[in-house]
Structure 1
Amino acid sequence: MQAKKKRIGFLYLDEIHHLFHFISVAVELSKTEDIEILTHPRCHDLLFESIEKLGGTNLKVKRLKTKRFRRFTDKLKKRDLPRKGFWIKKHKNYLLENFDALIFTDYFHHYLLKSRKELYPKLIKFGHGPPGRAYSYKKDLLDFDAQLLVGQFNYDQFEKMGILGPKPITIGYPKIDVVEKDEKKEFFKNNKPTVFYNPHFDPEYTSWDKEGLKVLEYFYNQDKFNLIFAPHLNLFQELKGDRNLSEIPPKFFKVDNILIDPGSVDSVNMSYTKYADIYLGDVSSQVFEFIIEPRPCIFLNPNNFDYTDDISFRFWKIGEVISGVEELDQALENINSVFEGYRPVQERMTAENFYTEEGSTASERAAKAILDFLNHS
């Protein structure tokens, strides 16, 4: 007798940088199971483009509306995404009654946690990037029935902090399975080395507020380097703070050696991390994607954080840390000689960050792990 297909829902109510962390797993599962992407009517076209690229012909997408009044207020407040609590409350019965498992890449599971009966459906947590700042280490992780982890460091830290749930499964980094299908892009018509400036949006940690415009000015006034300025895509979102793209003077958009990208697909699909020669940032875990191919890194610490023994600054062990733009000239001048001391640290950190296994992809391992878990739980 053929086993009944599992019904699994992937909740996608977030910005596009969440998509590549689950879409290839959803496609893999859809080869044998009944899989739905549960999203909203205004979801980005990248979802459908990615499904087509990965050959997900069996994958279903269900675009569910939030309540009419909430849609109206979201429009007034210029929200591209529905407020998750209201969306889930409207569709709670559908979510709880029709799936064997629901998969999240963020922490909005609370709206379902107390409403499900007999721990059903199962709630499974994916990350949306390698573990970096303290945001990666939330007690909420213990709410999930299973966690999919990207590597050994991920597992060890969760265990050390007491947030390793009842079913932790280390599978690798599915995002790589998606982006490796893309051709490498060219962004400048010269042979100058390219610096990728990638500040985070968190107001406590970002280098943008104190140093960002100085960084742009520095590269505007020199001719040795190209600059890609592609911050975390939340940096200029009105809902995340007072910053606005209009604060950047127009002259920076008009020069041939500076590319400014506040949140296109290229800013999340590793196009820039593959292309650039040097990483310049602060606390974005995107740097871990950059050093998969070891290259020089510089980190800005204008807030003078005492970072040496702080796990939130683990990435600052893989490159030089400077206080501000006044030290950038010297850091760039010495970048290649200094880098050789960091290369083995980067290689070790990549091995800790991303589990790999000969003969299978992270997406295949994730799909198998989810089915094994559901079949034995």
Structure 2
Amino acid sequence: MTATDPKGGGSRPSVCFLYIAQTHQILHSLPIAIALARGWPDVDVHIAATAQEHLDYVRDLLETLKAPPIPMRLLPPTWLRELRLKGSSTPPKALMLAANVHRLGRYDAVVTPERTTALLRKLGVKDTKLVYTQHGAGDRGGPFEPRLKQFDLVMAAGPKQRDRMLDEGWVTQKTCAMVGYPKFDIIDALPPSPLPVFPQAKPLVLYNPHFHPTLGSWPKWGRRILERFAADERYNLIFAPHIRLFEGADPRSIEALAPFVDHPRIHLDLGGPAAIDMTYTRAADIYLGDVSSQVYEFLRTPKPCLFLNPTHADWRGDESFHHWLYGPVLDDIEGVVDAVASAQRGHGDYVEAQRKGFAESFDLRETPSSVRAAQAIVDRLPSGRRRPR
């Protein structure tokens, strides 16, 4: 269904769910769009994206979920949409925002799972409410930053995220709403993606390095970790890094990954659906990672974790590494496979910390998170407070 531009100033408020970054962010805000379309018939919900593959993915999700029809549009111009800067799988975010500033400024609210959209304020958008849903509930300090002040509403998954944003002055009680984790709603409603088939059933390790250039484990240790698992027959391994590490490239095109493409005990996924829809975090028996927020999705069920510290960061007492309390931390990879086995045996020492950390990260209630998030948006629309039907 093709969207038309909102006219502005009408009796029906209009809300645009905007996608200008990588595909993995869609699952963090689309469930809110669906809840809004289902529950508030007097609100016009639109979806806009800068890549056709985003709209294709959204369309498939809406059809699978039997969601109400939501108008969608591919943002112009075509030449800019087709531009890819080095290392990016999406058009330049800032340039696409600038090219569409007047169009986006006609909505009553623009909802986004990423922070670059705060640029709309500098581009002259004053009356449109800007809403940031977040796209994870991790501890890394990077997302806690000044652009949050440009949003009229910043959502928090739980008290840990909310309190840190408040304490550091990025949000106020008025501009922050603790809504839970809408991604869980859509994941629970969707069938999981197909899992890789390994020749033999073995405990399954998920290696999930982050793209951070220094805190991420891939630059210093990644290939050696794969070599050690390739040489050890105790485990099957899924290598599913943060999608931004390789931007969904073909593993055969990456020199460090090519030797493992057809390995019987190693599966490589650089950004497919299973890498973003919690298929792997739900299926894996052990988590091996560094600073990715995906560890919290993995810990929806307490399971063994092993964390990698290639830069010997002084992490104890640093809230940006709080999740490293949920399993042993490795400062040397020579015995990484043995360390995984040790983490399995000693998991009981970390179960209580994992449960507590999950509860601090996600404020989950009987009312679905996506409905709570939709209500928080509606509460800030210019036509006043509305309640779902």
By the TM > 0.5 criterion, same fold?
yes
The answer as to 2:91 corresponding to 1:82 is yes
Counting only pairs closer than 5 Å after superposition, residues 75-154 of structure 1 correspond to structure 2 as 80-97=89-106, 99-116=107-124, 119-154=126-161
The answer as to 2:69 corresponding to 1:58 is yes
Cα 1:357–1:42 change in 2 (3 A) is same
Counting only pairs closer than 5 Å after superposition, residues 362-373 of structure 1 correspond to structure 2 as 362-373=369-380
Deviates more, 1:175-184 or 1:201-210: 175-184
**Aligned letter for 1:133?**
R
Counting only pairs closer than 5 Å after superposition, residues 236-275 of structure 1 correspond to structure 2 as 236-237=246-247, 245-275=253-283
The answer as to 2:191 corresponding to 1:180 is no
Check whether the contact 2:37–2:44 (CA below 8 A) recurs between aligned residues.
Answer: yes
Paired residue for 2:299, among 291, 301, 318? 291
Shift of 1:232: 0.7
How many residue pairs match? The answer is 367
Structure 2 counterpart of 1:192: 202
Shift of 1:353: 0.6
Shift of 1:167: 2.0
Paired residue for 1:157, among 164, 178, 184? 164
Shift of 1:108: 1.9
**Aligned letter for 2:92?**
R
Task: List runs of 5+ in structure 2 lacking aligned partners.
Answer: 1-9
Cα 1:177–1:331 change in 2 (3 A) is same
Structure 1 counterpart of 2:224: 214
Cα 1:103–1:20 change in 2 (3 A) is same
- The separation in 2 between residues aligned to 1:75 and 1:131, in whole angstroms, is 28
The CA RMSD over aligned residues, in Å, is: 2.3
Check whether the contact 1:67–1:86 (CA below 8 A) recurs between aligned residues.
Answer: no
Deviates more, 1:175-184 or 1:29-38: 175-184
- The separation in 2 between residues aligned to 1:188 and 1:28, in whole angstroms, is 35
Give per-residue Cα distances to partners, 1:97-136, cap 9 Å, x unaligned: 2x1111121122343214556x411111110111321112
- The separation in 2 between residues aligned to 1:173 and 1:78, in whole angstroms, is 30
Structure 2 counterpart SS, 1:135: coil
- The separation in 2 between residues aligned to 1:21 and 1:295, in whole angstroms, is 23
Shift of 1:77: 5.5
Shift of 1:368: 1.5
Shift of 1:245: 4.8
Shift of 1:7: 0.3
Check whether the contact 1:199–1:284 (CA below 8 A) recurs between aligned residues.
Answer: yes
Structure 1 counterpart of 2:13: 6
Check whether the contact 1:146–1:168 (CA below 8 A) recurs between aligned residues.
Answer: yes
**Aligned letter for 2:290?**
D
- The separation in 1 between residues aligned to 2:334 and 2:291, in whole angstroms, is 20
Shift of 1:191: 2.5
Paired residue for 2:345, among 337, 340, 345? 337
- The separation in 2 between residues aligned to 1:309 and 1:147, in whole angstroms, is 26
**Aligned letter for 1:202?**
H
Shift of 1:66: 2.6
Structure 1 counterpart of 2:3: none
Cα 1:180–1:151 change in 2 (3 A) is same
Structure 2 counterpart SS, 1:209: helix
Give per-residue Cα distances to partners, 1:48-103, cap 9 Å, x unaligned: 111212223321111112363x356x158585422122222222111112x11111
- The separation in 2 between residues aligned to 1:78 and 1:199, in whole angstroms, is 17
- The separation in 2 between residues aligned to 1:71 and 1:55, in whole angstroms, is 29
The answer as to 2:329 corresponding to 1:321 is yes
Shift of 1:339: 0.7
Structure 2 counterpart SS, 1:123: strand
Shift of 1:143: 1.1
Check whether the contact 2:286–2:344 (CA below 8 A) recurs between aligned residues.
Answer: no
Task: List runs of 5+ in structure 1 lacking aligned partners.
Answer: none
Cα 1:133–1:76 change in 2 (3 A) is closer
Q: Percent identity?
A: 32
Structure 2 counterpart of 1:29: 36
Structure 2 counterpart of 1:356: 364
Check whether the contact 2:81–2:96 (CA below 8 A) recurs between aligned residues.
Answer: no
Give per-residue Cα distances to partners, 1:17-73, cap 9 Å, x unaligned: 1000000110111232211111125333222111212223321111112363x356x
- The separation in 2 between residues aligned to 1:238 and 1:28, in whole angstroms, is 29
Counting only pairs closer than 5 Å after superposition, residues 292-311 of structure 1 correspond to structure 2 as 292-311=300-319
Check whether the contact 1:66–1:82 (CA below 8 A) recurs between aligned residues.
Answer: no
Cα 1:234–1:245 change in 2 (3 A) is farther
- The separation in 2 between residues aligned to 1:12 and 1:36, in whole angstroms, is 11
Deviates more, 1:175-184 or 1:30-39: 175-184
